[in-house]
Structure 1
Amino acid sequence: MTGSRKRRSFNRLVLGVVVLVVLVGALLVDAYASAAFHPDHTAGVGRRSTVPDTVTNGGPVVDTRNGLVRTYRMPVKTIALTFDDGPDPWWTPRVMEVLRRYRVHATFFVVGTRVAQHPGVVGELARDGHEIGVHSFTHPHLDRLPQWRRKLEYSQAQLAVVHATGRKSALLRLPYTSGPGAIDDARWGLIHEAGELGYLTVLADTDSQDWRGAGADAIVRAATPQGDWGSIVVMHDAGGDRAQTLAALDRFIPLMRSRGYTFTTVSEGLTRAFAGQSVVVDAPATLVDQRRSLALVTAVSLAGWVVAAISVLLLVVGALTVARTVALFLLAGRHARRRRARDWRWGPPVELPVSVIVPAYNEKEGIEAAVRSLAGGDHPGGIEVVVVDDGSTDGTAALVEALGLPNVRVARIPNGGKPNALNVGVDLSSHDIVVMVDGDTVFEPGAVRHLVQPFADPSVGAVAGNVKVGNRRSVVARWQHIEYVIGFNLDRRLYDVLRCMPTIPGAIGAFRREALLTIGGISHDTLAEDTDATMAVCRAGWRVVYEERARAWTEVPSTLRQLWLQRYRWSYGTMQAMWKHRRSLVDRGPSGRFGRLGLPFIALFGIALPLLAPVVDLLFVYGLFQPSRLVTTGLWLAMLAMQFLTAVVAFRLDRERLRPLWVLPLQQFVYRQLTYLVLIQSFGTALTGARLRWHKLHRAGSAGTGMTGAATGAGGVRSAPGRHRGGVAVVTRRAS
């Protein structure tokens, strides 16, 4: 691979990783910003060994700025209405409407994350003359956080307020605090620290207890000050259904006014207490503050949009998963029952001679076992094996010739790629039924015989065989074994019933020569020549079917790097084939039928579903940071259970042992993410129009290690002499 190609490949990989990191980061930001909290009233009171009596017995406004400790109360018959935990996009505007109706201004202590999510609501509060105070960014138990986190809570909340109002507030209400009498040593330390940061701590001496949900009458009684005392009354404009709070306000304000009370904000009440001396509790934000606030709110907003989009995608993934599961259960089961019925026949037994084409490029590790298994098949019509050595440099052709099998021929050609080798093999083959086999594949003795039986039906132009994973010892190979059974073989049953088979596997597939001539042979246009050819055969009006009894064992990549290279080629090649055959979407006849049925199936279940499947895992991680983590975990386990059920059905239909399924949960977190990144890289390659090279995978010759009861000998096989077709510049030699 040239340096520029390596850079492009690396850049596409980096792009996929960046996309995944951005998604995870957005989920974490949204989880942080959307963390639910308990109402303030749930806090208890601890020891008070360091709290001054002047504070516990003083007023609800505590000023520890400038190293001094002072407390203040509202003037007589003065009520400062305060609202905590907002803004709420529904309830805060309705609280505003009530206050506007009675021309009352209040102080709203806002949570920074909610301000970042609904800055317009806070902006309207400020324009209406209401006062804005800080109530932290995420409403945590501040005494349980390190000092740097507490400062971050204050500064981030302040930035959110700056973005909404253009001003910085000096008013602070600590989460989980009530009146001066509830100040313990831990809270006193927080109040002292807040004063050092320039904040004026505002508590409450009257709690409306609207969080209890006891009704409007109870709220009014709890909010009414004793005697003629002035009071800071705490209510809530968020955190739940605030209908009772609204009803109580509608009664409380006229009632208190009838008793001679006036309503004011905290700062106006302090101004009155100081005999008209103005108390400044906010200041204009600097340009730096405004820029930082914009960055913070943008991050929170983008995270919210990403989560909303992912939530929609989750519904799409769920719908696709359910649809695929239902379709597989109904159609794949129907396919298996029909094909295994005692009276099922394709027609009269097919005993015509068969030509097997084996394109081979540096296949020394497995070519001998592959050729022996092919030449020793028990097909009664005879098997001719044509090995096309595509410019191998490892002695592949010599190894085949040394076998001395009478029904095996070797053709040596300059390296021209797999499609060219297949076309040369077809041209050199002697018979009208052509089987195409990868050079690392080992056939069971009856594989060829079973594979060609569907040709008894004259409408069948090609047959897909049953590919099994031979080297199942590594975890990576076991993952692929599961994928082959569930994602390939089970899907082929579905496609067979719907008559829109998109791919005949390169490891084991059979074609009528007439069908290959109809489509002009194997094309070089894509990297997925098997998919390209199968689509072309379908569009030409031939039927493509799946024969589960024709079993071949292949060697799959045993490392993640090799797997990546293989799947990258497969994914990109499939996208190329879909694009090449896109006109079938508007065609009529068989081509149009395939285009309007087969292509959407591939797009939805072969590309969209694997590409979106990691959304489930991302939201699972996201849900672990939410109060509903048990629900999230339950939904993820339900999705896993659905996949496990599908796997069990697929393994039973394929008559496989269930033991490998123990790696299925791990597959969700590793293999699925790899598939996602491969698709991202393939999609990026497709968009840029880059040409991807064919990557030769390392083979160990272990395709047949998992095969049970499969003979690889060559005895008792009829030799079918071939004939040389003109116009092909090759050197052929019968193995001797």
Structure 2
Amino acid sequence: MRRRTNRRRHAQSRDPRGHWLLLILILPLAFGALLFEGWTTHEVDAAKTRSDCTTPVPSAVDKGGPVVRLDGGTVKSAGMPARNVALTYDGGPDPVWTPRLLDLLRKHHAHATFFVQGAKAAQHPDLVRRIQAEGHEIGSNTYTGAVMGAASPFRARLELELTQQALAGTAGIHTNLLRLPQTTAVDTMCGPEWKAAQRAGADGYTLVAADRWFRKPSQGVVRQFTQNDVAYHDTEKLLKNPRIGKFTTVSFGAGLPPADTPAPAPERWLGTALVWIKALGYAFVHGMAWVLGIAGGLGVLRLASLVFFARAHVRRLVRIRPGSPWLREITDPVTVLVPAYNEAAGIESTIHSLLGSDHPQLQIIVIDDGSTDDTADLAAAIDDPRVEVIRQPNSGKAAALNTGLAHARCDIIVMVDADTVFEPDAIHQLIQPLAHPAVGAVSGNTKVGNRRRLLGRWQHLEYVFGFNLDRRMFEVLECMPTVPGAIGAFRRDALMGVGGVSEDTLAEDTDLTMALWQAGWRVVYEETAIAWTEVPTSLSQLWRQRYRWCYGTLQAMWKHRRAVIEVGPAGRFGRRGLSYLTLFQVALPLLAPIVDVFALYGALFQGPVLSAGVWAGFLALQLACAWYALRLDGEPVRTLWAMPLQLFVYRQLMYLVVIQSVVAFLLGTRLKWQRMHRSGTAAQHIGQPELGRPVPYESLPS
């Protein structure tokens, strides 16, 4: 009944859907918010210092008051009446000094004019509303404080329009007062700044400069401050000056209509959207700065840990290794299970490599899981009594392995993939750690056979640097999460004790390994047991394979989550292995696309030299660790040239796999045992002694 149920469930499985397409919508939105935040924060395309004036302002402006209105070609100036002072503050609102200045003004019952920057107004909307609520006047200091005379016409117009939208979204107002950044008295509105002033005046703005400092407050002045501690103390002195009769706003003192008028509804809606975009960009930038720092630190810590534990692994855990004086050599007969589904291209090479093993006592069981090609016939045609072929309807890889397990006659079981080619001594080396009574399973060393093309080289580097270096660390920490399906040895009683190979997940090898830990068995890595496998040769095949692996791993992690709170070997595996997988193989890859976007933001807005330096430093660290991993596995280091290219394509594909898998897991999608197109090239490196043989321990670098 259970077998029929599993077959029915397998038949109902479906191919993966493109959930990751949501990323196409999310990433542009994130990058758009970052781009806007970077533009408004770092003033791209805007001069930070003004150029020297080549032409003065018109005499009517130079000799007039600090409040300038341009009506066509006519210049109208105004100033403050005697004993009236208009306090004006540029920039902000500032979260530190604006509240202090407002408290000081309220204490003395004075009013002022705040020329705010739109970007900061959108960032601190509550302060804008407080300025308005306490009766102060609000003017524009442009959106980013850019020098308007140096800005392009498009940039200048955008500076003013975005500021109006920010004020509409925060306080529901529109202002006609403008102070050009980096100008003081009217004579500083010269040269390019005067042209910018004329354009703004044509749009209905009243330009506000400041009186020269030698003009006495008793004569009536417009005073200009930047929001800081100096402005606070100078304001305090002015407010205590008995010669000043009134502190007023610019519009009221100059006899102008109120500058603040209600903004129309469409502008308020646009302003609200602007405030949200600004808040999103600001939160995203600062949040990702922390994430990037933490992720970078964890990445460096991971690389350092891999090298440290790999070196510890090299120095040997002799108590569970062949050659130890108290461990016997294992020569017991072995049953090899070969599940196969449409593997006609490679099944003969796999079987012949097994028959060529220097461990002669073998029972080789090929389980054909409903293949539609000649897989079963090719296997059956091999004339050797050690080879048995079992045919069954398509039920999935786990079911095929259980079928083979039911026909096994030996106490040691080796499970292999049908595209894997074994070195002659691989099986003998693989089973030797089983001499230790606590070891229930052994992971072999899987190498990439078809590595001549770029995609194959990338996967070769991942197998050596990623998988095998991880396995060395996992063995030392006693938390090996996976004995790969390509090459793994098991005690038969350990397998039967956990109920065989579970059909609950798509990563049956990971699920089985975790179950063995929970049953109290240890799992180790034997790097001298080498098997060659054929990896996908196209990005689409690679996507399907890794999607299935990642999805199945998530299922297995969830299934065995209680290991985190258990004791003994199960608890060590849960707290170390599951935590490691959750952090480095799920959480960080989920954030990786956003981190990449943020790295692009840093290159654009925070200096390409710094970003390139950080990237180059991390790449150099990875190359050093990869060199060590290749050295441990006896692989030529010339393959490292492909690693920098891996960071631009291959890594992004792996991140998308994780994202797709997590979404599919949360939605409960089921996947089939997917078939990869084989070309039978897994054994192309067999017979090349300079490749793939681990370096003797005594010759390894310290």
Tell me whether the two structures share a fold, i.e. TM-score over 0.5.
Answer: yes
Report the counterpart of residue 312 of structure 2 in structure 1: 334
Change (3 A) 1:47 1:320: same
Distance, in Å, in 2 between the alignment partners of 1:29 and 1:590 is 51
SS, match of residue 605 in structure 2? coil
Which residue in the other structure is 1:34 paired with? 41
* Range moving further from structure 2, 29-38 or 416-425: 29-38
Counterpart of 2:275 in structure 1 is: 297
Instruction: Tell me which residue corresponds to 2:295.
Output: 317
SS at match of 2:537: coil
Alignment match, 1:722: none
Alignment pair present for 1:394 and 2:394:
no
Aligned to 1:158: 164
Paired residue for 1:438?
417
- Number of the residue aligned with 2:17: 9
Length-normalised TM-score, structure 2:
0.89
Residue identity opposite 1:375 in structure 2: L
How far does residue 285 in structure 1 lie from its aligned partner after superposition? 1.6
Among 574, 579, 604, which residue is 1:595 paired with? 574
Deviations 1:646-689 (A, max 9, x none): 32332332233333333333333433332222222211111111
Change (3 A) 1:65 1:486: farther
Give the deviation of 1:374 after TM superposition.
1.8
1:517–1:33 distance in 2 versus 1, CA, 3 Å = same
Say yes or no: does 1:267 pair with 2:247: no
Match of 1:53 in 2: 59
Could you tell me which residue of structure 1 aligns to residue 237 of structure 2? 251
Q: Please, which of 439, 463, 476 is the counterpart of residue 497 of structure 1?
A: 476
Residues 585/202 of structure 1: CA separation in 2 closer, same or farther (3 Å cut): same
What residue is the counterpart of 1:196 in the other structure? Answer: 202
Q: 1:518: how far off? A: 1.0
Tell me the SS of whatever aligns to 2:54. coil
Verify the 8 A CA contact 2:13 2:671 in the aligned structure 1: no
Aligned to 1:730: none
Question: Aligned pair in 2 of structure 1 residues 649, 251: CA closer, same or farther (>3 Å)?
Answer: farther
1:371 aligns with 2:371: no
Distance 2:148 2:535 in 1: 54
Q: Following the alignment from structure 1 to structure 2, what is the Cα–Cα distance between the partners of residues 247 and 227?
A: 16
Q: Does the 8 Å contact 1:37/1:140 carry over to 2?
A: no
Q: Distance in 2 between matches of 1:262 and 1:658?
A: 80
Report matched runs for 1:511-526 at 5 Å.
Answer: 511-526=490-505
Partner of 2:331: 351
Q: Which residue of 1 aligns with 2:461?
A: 482
Structure 1: how far apart are the matches of 2:30 and 2:189?
Answer: 42
Query: 187-196 vs 681-690, which deviates more?
Result: 187-196
Alpha-carbon separation, structure 2, partners of 1:499 and 1:628: 44
Rounded to whole Å, the distance in 2 between the matches of 1:681 and 1:17 is: 12
Corresponding residue for 1:115? 121
Give the alignment of 1:169-248 within 5 angstroms.
169-206=175-212, 223-225=213-215, 230-237=220-227, 242-248=228-234
Alpha-carbon distance, 1:101 to partner: 3.5
* Closer, same or farther: CA 670–143 of 1 in aligned 2, 3 Å: farther
3-state SS in 1 of match to 2:181: coil
1:552 to 488, 508, 531: 531
The Cα of 1:168 is off from its aligned counterpart by 0.8
Q: Deviations over 1:361-396 (max 9, x none)?
A: 1112222222222211222x4333222222222212
- Distance in 1, matches of 2:50 and 2:40, equals 22
* Equivalences for residues 389-428 of structure 1 within 5 A: 389-405=368-384, 407-428=386-407
Mapped contact 1:565–1:695 kept (Cα < 8 A): yes
Residue 40 of structure 1 contacts residue 175 of structure 1 at CA under 8 Å; is this kept in 2? no
Aligned AA (1:187)? E
Q: Distance in 2 between matches of 1:467 and 1:43?
A: 64
Q: Match for 1:354: what amino acid?
A: V
Bigger drift between 627-636 and 422-431 goes to 627-636
State the alpha-carbon separation in 2 of the partners of residues 710 and 289 from structure 1: 74
Take 1:440 and 1:41, find their aligned partners in 2: how far apart are those partners?
63
- Please state how far the C-alpha of 1:72 moved relative to its aligned partner: 3.0
Identity between Structure 1 and Structure 2 (%): 46
1-structure distance, mates of 2:671, 2:583: 24
- 1:550 maps to amino acid: A
Match of 2:95 among 85, 89, 94: 89
Structure-2 separation of matches of 1:413 and 1:41: 75
Q: Name the SS of the counterpart of 2:562 in structure 1.
A: helix
Instruction: Report whether the alignment pairs 1:19 with 2:26.
Output: yes
Which residue identity does 1:679 align to in structure 2?
A: V
Relative to the length of structure 1, the TM-score reads 0.85
- The alpha-carbon distance between structure 1 residues 646 and 585, as it changes in their structure 2 partners (threshold 3 A), is same
SS of alignment partner, residue 135 of structure 2: coil
Q: CA deviation at 1:445?
A: 1.9
Which ranges of structure 2 fall in alignment gaps of 5 or more residues?
A: 1-9, 691-702
Quickly say closer, same or farther: Cα 1:37–1:615, change in 2 above 3 A. Answer: closer
Q: Following the alignment from structure 2 to structure 1, what is the Cα–Cα distance between the partners of residues 123 and 335? A: 68
Distance in 2 between residues matched to 1:471 and 1:376, nearest whole Å: 21
Structure 1: tracts of 5 or more residues without a match: 207-222, 272-277, 712-736
Q: Tell me the CA shift for residue 41 of structure 1.
A: 8.5
Is the CA contact (8 Å cut-off) linking 1:65 and 1:200 kept in structure 2? no
Residue 133 (1) aligns with residue 139 (2):
yes
Q: CA deviation at 1:576?
A: 0.8
Displacement of 1:632 in angstroms is 4.5
CA offset at residue 65 of structure 1?
4.2
Match in the other structure for 1:43 = 50
Are the equivalent residues in 1 in contact too, given 2:140–2:179 (CA < 8 A)? yes
Change beyond 3 A, Cα 1:224–1:55: closer
Structure 1 counterpart SS, 2:17: helix
1:226 offset after TM fit, Å?
6.0
Q: Contact 1:61–1:71 at 8 Å: present in 2 too?
A: yes
Structure 2 SS opposite 1:676: helix
Sort the Cα spacing of 1:27 and 1:356 in 2 relative to 1 into closer, same or farther, 3 A.
same
**C-alpha spacing 1:224/1:562, structure 2 compared with 1 (3 Å):** farther
Does the aligned pair in 2 maintain the 1:45–1:182 contact within 8 Å? Answer: no
Q: Deviations over 1:441-477 (max 9, x none)?
A: 1222221121111111121111001111222233333
CA contact (8 A) 1:451 1:465 kept: yes
Shift of 1:638: 3.7
Amino acid at match of 2:355: A
Report Cα offsets for 1:560-612 as digits up to 9, x if no partner: 22121111111110111112222333444443443333322221222223323
Q: How many residues align?
A: 679
Q: Compare 490-499 and 331-340 and name the one that shifted more.
A: 331-340
CA contact (8 A) 2:138 2:259 kept: no
**For each residue in 1:208-245, what CA deviation from the matched residue of structure 2 results, as whole angstroms up to 9, or x when unmatched?**
xxxxxxxxxxxxxxx452696543332211xxxx2233
Q: Is residue 86–residue 221 contact of structure 2 (8 Å, CA) maintained in 1?
A: yes
SS in 2 for 1:471: coil
Decide whether aligned partners of structure 1 residues 201 and 465 sit closer, same or farther in structure 2, where only a CA change above 3 A counts.
Answer: same
Residue of structure 2 in register with 1:220 after alignment = none
Q: Secondary structure at the match of 2:102?
A: helix
Question: Bigger CA drift: 598-607 or 317-326?
Answer: 317-326
Q: Does 1:306 align with 2:292?
A: no
Counterpart for residue 695 of structure 2: none
Secondary structure of the residue aligned to 1:42 is coil
Change over 3 Å in CA distance of 1:593–1:225 after alignment to 2: same
Preserved CA contact (<8 Å) 1:613 1:672: no
**Which residue type is aligned with residue 263 of structure 2?**
A
The 2-side partners of 1:310 and 1:348 are apart by: 55
What is the DSSP-based 3-state SS (H/G/I as helix, E as strand, rest coil) of the residue aligned with 2:352?
helix
* Cα 1:396–1:166 shift into 2, 3 Å: same
Q: Is the deviation greater in 475-484 or in 459-468? A: 475-484
1:362 aligned partner:
342
Mapped to 1, the partners of 2:366 and 2:190 lie a distance apart of 87
Pair 38,568 (structure 1): closer, same or farther in 2 beyond 3 Å: closer
3-state SS in 1 of match to 2:316:
helix
